[in-house]
Amino acid sequence: MSYCINPDCPNPKNPHATQECLSCGSTLLLAERYRVLKAIGKGGFGATFLAENAVLPGNPTCAIKQLRLASNDGRVLERARTLFRREAATLGKIGNHPQLPSLLDYFEIDNRFYLVQEYVQGLTLKQEVKRYGCFSEMQVKAVLDEVLQLLGYLQQNEVIHRDIKPANIIRRRLDNRLVLIDFGAVKDEVSQTGLLLDSETMTPNTSFAIGTPGFAPREQMAMKPVYASDLYALGATCLYLLIGQSPRRLDCDPGNGEILWHDRVCISPHLTQILDKMLKPLLHYRYSSAEQVLADLNREPSSEAFSSEETAAELTLANLGESNPRESDGFEETDYGSPPAAKANGFSHPQVPPTPISAATVEMPSPNPSYHDTSGETGGDSVSSSRSLSWTAKRTISNSTALQYTSATDKTSSSASGKLTPQTLKTSYKKGERDFADCDLSGFDLQHIELSQVNFYGSKLVRTNLKGANLHKADLSSASMSYAVCRGANLSNAYLSYSNLSGADLRGANLSNAYLTHANLRGANLCGANLIDAKVSQTQLAMAKTNWRTVMPNGKRSLFA
């Protein structure tokens, strides 16, 4: 199909080989080489289209952003042309980063401006929340870590994105990396003027390109964005991932304007403090750079953040080789927002008064997400409440303010606390069950089993045979996997933070992009393992066994890392 981009066309859809629109007569081959296939988004500046390059072999796809002016005034047009070229230069400058869309072309036709960029296939974070449910704390931290590095790169190049929100962050299907899109609101730091100007006063038209309400801070709404404005928007994005609603739907403190969100989620004080500082209404109290947020995010939480000194000691390197008497308890959050049916440790201390948590629902993910299509997306949509009920969270406040969760259905309680057999595990997984948190799977023979995106949060897998198993994107956080056999297993993008992998056989395992923060790797065999882009420290790796075939996080072999 060929799609007409004339905004006044009554019927833009045409047969594929058509050269001119059958409805309005406009040419369908843009700049004599781009054939538009469909519209994928609309905004204050114009629209975004999916197109193909009709003159290149293979007709590669691309995204075309059409920028339209509200006035035909000559002064407005000339100023817009100058700023359009400046924006194109900015996009060209930052487009060399692998997680930012490359600028392929730009041109002007009939007083309309066009940017041609790399088309990124995948789901936006907003689509992920709508489809799979709210994110866990571990998932939000992973998003923060990845996007903050992107914002650090933008700041080094003196660029402010100005429209950070869940709909503008895509998880690329090709490699599961997060990509920042929609730089239509990008503003080069040297420019202090909006793209559109009022035709009478020649002043910036503040009704355009100021970001999305609920995600843009007050200084950006006043057309005075700074680097910290993107940090606020990222913090607001994290709230959306945790809650499933736009921050503009939340109440604010009438005294200081801060968003009141603590009673909506249960996360660690560590992440709570970081998000609070990112969301400060006043610039003076907010983080000023992405590096500052990353430093706090990667800093070890203080012992006060745990329920007892014993718990804090369990996570120190000096005790990584010792058995953990509470290893089956696990931490507060689990993949896809499902809480473990176990007593939480200190990470579960919310900074909120003891009010009950309402029933929540989750939906398990499909293994084949569709390509990115932002048509119809708005920043204020919330997660549908019509998902099937799979668990009910009940919070009990004891003298030590510890939290306890109890399962509400027979289906989840059998998988959460009962001892499964290998056959019932396989059968349940094939039927769509993914939540096996806090199960005892020790000693199971699960060779070459398909368990992608499974939730084994806090489970026992001591001496479990997972040779050649597919555990892509599995949540194994806080799991006990000592002496487990994971030789040749696919653990790419898996969550293994705080897991006990002491003595585990991980020879030849794919651990690319895996999250191994605070995991116990003492005595683990990583010979021939692929650790490219894995989140793991050199201190952890020093405890494990590696050889020249081990691919380190930086992509180099062990001997040359």
Which residues carry a binding-site annotation? Answer: 65
100: Cβ contacts below 8 Å, ≥ 6 apart: 94, 150, 153, 179, 180, 183
Pick from 429, 478, 422: nearest CA to 447: 422
Paired tokens of 232: 């606020």
Cα–Cα dist 56/53, whole Å: 6
Cα–Cα dist 365/353, whole Å: 33
- The DSSP symbol for 3 reads E
- The DSSP symbol for 351 reads S
- Cα 21 to chain centroid distance, Å, stands at 39
Active site annotation includes 163: yes
* Number of neighbours of residue 216 by Cβ within 10 angstroms: 25
411: Cβ contacts below 8 Å, ≥ 6 apart: 390, 433
Task: Return the H-helix or E-strand segment holding 49.
Answer: strand 46-53
What does residue 528 show for φ and ψ, rounded to 5 degrees? 75, 5
Cα–Cα dist 206/210, whole Å: 7
Instruction: Say which amino acid occupies 552.
Output: M
Annotated binding site for ATP: 65
Q: Tokens 């793209």 correspond to what residue?
A: 195
Task: Return the H-helix or E-strand segment holding 299.
Answer: none
* Number of neighbours of residue 353 by Cβ within 10 angstroms: 8
Report yes or no: 350 and 262 within 8 Å, Cβ to Cβ: yes
Pick from 116, 115, 135, 117: nearest CA to 125: 135
Paired tokens of 149: 């590095």
**DSSP percent split of the chain into helix, strand, coil, nearest 5:** 25, 15, 55
Pick from 317, 314, 319: nearest CA to 331: 314
Paired tokens of 222: 């006043």
What does residue 156 show for φ and ψ, rounded to 5 degrees? -65, -30
Residues in the chain: 561
Cα–Cα dist 323/504, whole Å: 14
- The DSSP symbol for 347 reads G
Sign, Cα dihedral of 116, 121, 125, 128: positive
Paired tokens of 117: 């960029």
Paired tokens of 181: 């899109």
Report yes or no: 447 and 468 within 8 Å, Cβ to Cβ: yes
Helical spans, DSSP H, in 166-282: 218-221, 227-243, 269-278
Catalytic one of 8, 73, 105, 163: 163
Active-site annotation, residues:
163
